[in-house]
Structures are given as structure tokens and as C-alpha cells.
């Protein structure tokens, strides 16, 4: 063995031993602090579940295996604290928000639409954007949008009759509800009236198919963005695909140019609101007008993703649960039918839908049991004393395990069962003492919450008045898609639609 070979061998061995020492040191982080932790796999930590099981399943299993108030995990080599009680969730999300104001998710300049949207952008831009966007979701705006949601829900009813009853096509709930939501968001964002449910070509459906179609690669990319942002930044991964990004950019500016030429404007959609936002939003002095343009596009993009992905999932799981609970389904039908007869209407409006308490209870219970977003993540800004025994160091990610709270029998007896009566007097703003967090809580709570809930109400009210739904098989459990970062039913989910006579 010559000198060069010996040198290379010694260098390789030294590098290997150093790597082993770093890994052992990193993975001893929680043990040194006396906090229970999930045993990591070298280099990938506790991310061995990625692409094999859903995120929801991982966090639910974590809470059952480690039923403590908090548990340590490792996202790759990164120590991460998972809190699992309403009290600790309240501290992180609300009480001490100033120390947990930013999300952990990757935010890189290589992906402006992904890094500048309300879900990912950091303070101080986030607080300014949030303030400017909040007026988009007032009750008066939602009343107007509910008329459109009802129009699209009527198209949904017709599509069910045409495709699933007359043509006997296989039902993919996630797909048809994504179509329904994309038709609504086409008008909400761009002022475009078009019906993908009626087989019309839709630019929003093209964008949506890029956003919510969970392939192996797309799932791997999103997993890195959400769980290993350092790797995502290194590989320049993107929150939105190149195809979706360019299409949104082109569509947005085409709409803007058309309005400039015609002088026709609309205060009902997001485009006009974002143009005003560009004029009013306060940005750091060092940034130019390009940032303001990218901020507008980013909000349009994330609104499309958020309103379609979570609404279509909630609708899919609600129909699945109702199909397996015929008594509850009949009770809900009678509530809808009675309201229609009492109001003397064929379709219920915004105020009428809000009065359907059992409908709200069914939706809420579905979101408790089948929560679209299984966790809420933040970054610790400064060293913080969480409890007498737990101190969180600066820069440590903190995840609120929503599934641990939603499926804990201490807060929800028989948590594996679907029981709408848990929400006997439901309110859209009641988090039940932080035991019900499907939309998050605190300053970062979902800004489109009321929009999403009304979109779900409108579809269910019309569908369930026209059709009874029954299970396709005897299998009750509807597993989540392992490729999806948010909960999505594997294979889309399915029911049988039976016309009511």
C-alpha cells in the first residue's frame, strides 16, 4: 500500500468515524434532556414512513406509542419536539405566539410562489399580508360566493346523475369534489365562470391537476419541503410545479391586461383584491416592485391549493362516513329536507346553510376523525421554557400533533368512532378548549376557514337531498394516500349514489 493510498484510507476512515460521532451526538439530543423520543434511523431519523404510509397515520401511531405530553423525533438529523396536549398546543399557537411566529416549512427564493404565500412566508411580510388579505373573507363576500357555490353544487348533482347513475362510471370522490372546488375557485380568484363538472375546458382544472395529483415524485418533493427544508433548499425543490407556476402567472396577468383594456372590473374576485394589496402592502425598503408582483401570484396559488385540497378531502370523507352510518345520514337528510320546505326553496342560501346544525356537526366530526392536516408546525424563535421539565432551544422545530388530540379518548370518548353528536351545538369558531384544531388556531389559523366550510356545506346539502349514499364495499377504513402530505383518500374514495324518490 503506497503513501497516497494509505492517506486516502486514513482520511476515509476518519471521515466515517466523524460522521458516526455526529450522528450519535445528534441522536442523543432528546435522551440528554430526559424527554421520551422515537428511536431514529441513521441519517433519515424518523422519516422512514415517508412514501409508505400517510402523514396522518404516522402522527397517530406516534401518539399511541408515546402517549406523553411531548415526544422527541428527528427529521433527518434535526431534533424536533412534538407536543400532544391541548394545554401545550395553546402555549405554542396562541399564548406565546411571539416565540413561535414562523413555520418550519421550506421557504426559498428559487420558488417565489412557494416561498411568498401566506402559508410559508416569514415575518414581517407575513403579518402585513395577513392584514391585507383578511377582508377578502367577510360575511358579505361569502354570501355572494355562496350563490356561485350553489350553482356549482347543482352541476355536481347533475354530473353524479349523468356519469355515475346513467353511465355507471366508477366513482372517484376526490376527483369530482376537486372539480367542484376548482369551478368555484376559478371565479373566486380570477372571475372566470366555467364548469369542469360539465366537461368544459378549465384553466383552473389544468392548474389543479398539477397541484393535487400525488405521484411518487411529487410526494417525495413535498415531504422534503415540509420535513427536511435544508435538503429542499439544497435541491431547489418547489412548492408548486413548474407547469402550475407558469400557468398561474400567465392566467393572472392575462386577466389583469384584459381588465385594463376593457375597463371592466370586479370586486368579487381575488385578482382585484390582490391588485389593491400590491398598492397598500408595506414591504421592506430594499425590495422592489418585483416582490409585490410575486406576492400577488403566490397568494392566488396558495388559495387555489388550499381551497381545493382540503375541501375535496373533507367532502370525500364525509360522504364515506355517511355511507357507513345510514341512521345519521337519514337524520341529516331530514334536516335538509325540512329546511327546504320551511323556507319554500329549492336551494338553501348562505344563512340557511349556517342554520343546519346537524350538517355542521357531521362536517366537524369528519374533520376531527379524518383531519386534513395532521400537525401544525412552528420554529422556536428564542430559548423557551415549555414546562418545568422541558426547555426548547432556539431554532428547534415544534410540531403540534393534532391527531394525538383529536383521537385522544380523554377529550373525545371512543375517538375511533364517528359520532356527530359530539358537536351538539356546533360553532365555526369553537375549538372546544383546544381539543379541536382542524384549521389551526391563533394568528396563523386558516384564513379561508369560513370559505372552505361553506363550500362543503353547499355541496353536501344538495347531494344528500337528491341521493342516498351507500358503501361500495364492507371495508370501513378509508386509508390515506401515502404520497400525500395532506390527508387524501387512497384511490380517491368511492360510494354508491342512489337517487331519492
Q: What is the pLDDT of residues 449-498, one digit of tens each?
A: 999 999 999 999 999 999 999 999 999 999 999 998 899 999 899 999 99
Query: CA–CA separation, 32 vs 218, rounded Å?
Result: 36
Domain boundaries of the chain, sorted by first residue: 1-32, 33-499
- Is the domain spanning 33-499 CATH 1.10.630.10? The answer is yes
**Of 340, 345, 368, 371, nearest to 356 (Cα)?**
340
Show the cell assigned to 66.
Answer: 408515546
Calculate mean pLDDT across residues 405-432: 91
Work out whether the CA dihedral 113, 117, 119, 123 comes out positive or negative: positive
Residue in the block written with cell 382542524: 438
Q: What is the pLDDT of residues 152-196, one digit of tens each?
A: 999 999 999 999 999 999 999 999 999 999 998 888 888 888 888
Q: Which residues are annotated as a binding site for heme?
A: 446
On average, the pLDDT of the chain sits at 89
The C-alpha angle 170, 175, 176, rounded to 5 degrees, equals 80
- pTM over cut 0.75: yes
Query: CA–CA separation, 181 vs 204, rounded Å?
Result: 10
**Of 488, 408, 414, nearest to 172 (Cα)?**
488
Beta pairing class for 391-392 and 78-83: unpaired
Of the pLDDT bands very low, low, confident and very high (cuts 50, 70, 90), residue 294 is: confident
**Structural contact between residues 348 and 340, judged by C-beta atoms closer than 8 angstroms:** yes
Longest dimension (CA), the chain: 95
**Of 268, 251, 287, nearest to 116 (Cα)?**
287
Give the model's pLDDT for residue 426: 72
Of the pLDDT bands very low, low, confident and very high (cuts 50, 70, 90), residue 318 is: very high
Q: Is residue 501 predicted with pLDDT exceeding 90?
A: no
Of the pLDDT bands very low, low, confident and very high (cuts 50, 70, 90), residue 126 is: confident
Q: Which residues are annotated as a binding site?
A: 446
**Structural contact between residues 57 and 480, judged by C-beta atoms closer than 8 angstroms:** yes
Of the pLDDT bands very low, low, confident and very high (cuts 50, 70, 90), residue 1 is: low
Give the model's pLDDT for residue 475: 92
Task: Outline where DSSP puts E strands in 157-281.
Answer: none
Q: At what angle do helices 173-190 and 449-466 cross, to 10 degrees?
A: 130
Three-class SS of residue 220?
helix
Query: CA–CA separation, 459 vs 134, rounded Å?
Result: 24
Amino acid at each position: 500500500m503506497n503513501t497516497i493510498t494509505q492517506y486516502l484510507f486514513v482520511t476515509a476512515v476518519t471521515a466515517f468515524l466523524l460522521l458516526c460521532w455526529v450522528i450519535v451526538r445528534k441522536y442523543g439530543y432528546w435522551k440528554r434532556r430526559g424527554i421520551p423520543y422515537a428511536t431514529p434511523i441513521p441519517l433519515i431519523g424518523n422519516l422512514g414512513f415517508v412514501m409508505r404510509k400517510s402523514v396522518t397515520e404516522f402522527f397517530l401511531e406516534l401518539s399511541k406509542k408515546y402517549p406523553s405530553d411531548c415526544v422527541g423525533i428527528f427529521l433527518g438529523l434535526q431534533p424536533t419536539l412534538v407536543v400532544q396536549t391541548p394545554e401545550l398546543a395553546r402555549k405554542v399557537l396562541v399564548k406565546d405566539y411571539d416565540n413561535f411566529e414562523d413555520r418550519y416549512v421550506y421557504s426559498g427564493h428559487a420558488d417565489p410562489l412557494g416561498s411568498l404565500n401566506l402559508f410559508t412566508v416569514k415575518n414581517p411580510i407575513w403579518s402585513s399580508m395577513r392584514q391585507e388579505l383578511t377582508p377578502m373573507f367577510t360575511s358579505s363576500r361569502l354570501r355572494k360566493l355562496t350563490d356561485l357555490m350553489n350553482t356549482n353544487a347543482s352541476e355536481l348533482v347533475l354530473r353524479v346523475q349523468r356519469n355515475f347513475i346513467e353511465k355507471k362510471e366508477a366513482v372517484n370522490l376526490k376527483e369530482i369534489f376537486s372539480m367542484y372546488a376548482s369551478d368555484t375557485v376559478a371565479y373566486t380568484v380570477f372571475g372566470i365562470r366555467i364548469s369542469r363538472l360539465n366537461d368544459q375546458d378549465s384553466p383552473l382544472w389544468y392548474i389543479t391537476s398539477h397541484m393535487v395529483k400525488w405521484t411518487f415524485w411529487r410526494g417525495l418533493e413535498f415531504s422534503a419541503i415540509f420535513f427536511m427544508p435544508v435538503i429542499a433548499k439544497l435541491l431547489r425543490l418547489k412548492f408548486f410545479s413548474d407547469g402550475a407556476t407558469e400557468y398561474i402567472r400567465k392566467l393572472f396577468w392575462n386577466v389583469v391586461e384584459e381588465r385594463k383594456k376593457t375597463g371592466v372590473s370586479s370586486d368579487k374576485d381575488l385578482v382585484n383584491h390582490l391588485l389593491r394589496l400590491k398598492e397598500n402592502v408595506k414591504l421592506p425598503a430594499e425590495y422592489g416592485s418585483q416582490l409585490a408582483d410575486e406576492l400577488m401570484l403566490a397568494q392566488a396559488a396558495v388559495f387555489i391549493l388550499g381551497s381545493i385540497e382540503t375541501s375535496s378531502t373533507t367532502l370525500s370523507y364525509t360522504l364515506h362516513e355517511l355511507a357507513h352510518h345510514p341512521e345519521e345520514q337519514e337524520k341529516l337528510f331530514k334536516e335538509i329536507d325540512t329546511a327546504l320546505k320551511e323556507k319554500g326553496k329549492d336551494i338553501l342560501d348562505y344563512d340557511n346553510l349556517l342554520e343546519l346544525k346537524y350538517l355542521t356537526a357531521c362536517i366537524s366530526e369528519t374533520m376531527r376523525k379524518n383531519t386534513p392536516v395532521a400537525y401544525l408546525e412552528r420554529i422556536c424563535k428564542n430559548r423557551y421554557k415549555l414546562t418545568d421539565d422541558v426547555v426548547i432551544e432556539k431554532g428547534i422545530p415544534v410540531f403540534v400533533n393534532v391527531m394525538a388530540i383529536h383521537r385522544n379518548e380523554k377529550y373525545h370518548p371512543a375517538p375511533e368512532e364517528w359520532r356527530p353528536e359530539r358537536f351538539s351545538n356546533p360553532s365555526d369558531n369553537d375549538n372546544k378548549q383546544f381539543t379541536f384544531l382542524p384549521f389551526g388556531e391563533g394568528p396563523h389559523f386558516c384564513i379561508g376557514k369560513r370559505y372552505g366550510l361553506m363550500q362543503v356545506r353547499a355541496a353536501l346539502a344538495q347531494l344528500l337531498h337528491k341521493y342516498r349514499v351507500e358503501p361500495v364495499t364492507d371495508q370501513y377504513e378509508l386509508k390515506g394516500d401515502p404520497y400525500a402530505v395532506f390527508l387524501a383518500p387512497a384511490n380517491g374514495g368511492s360510494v354508491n349514489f342512489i337517487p331519492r324518490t
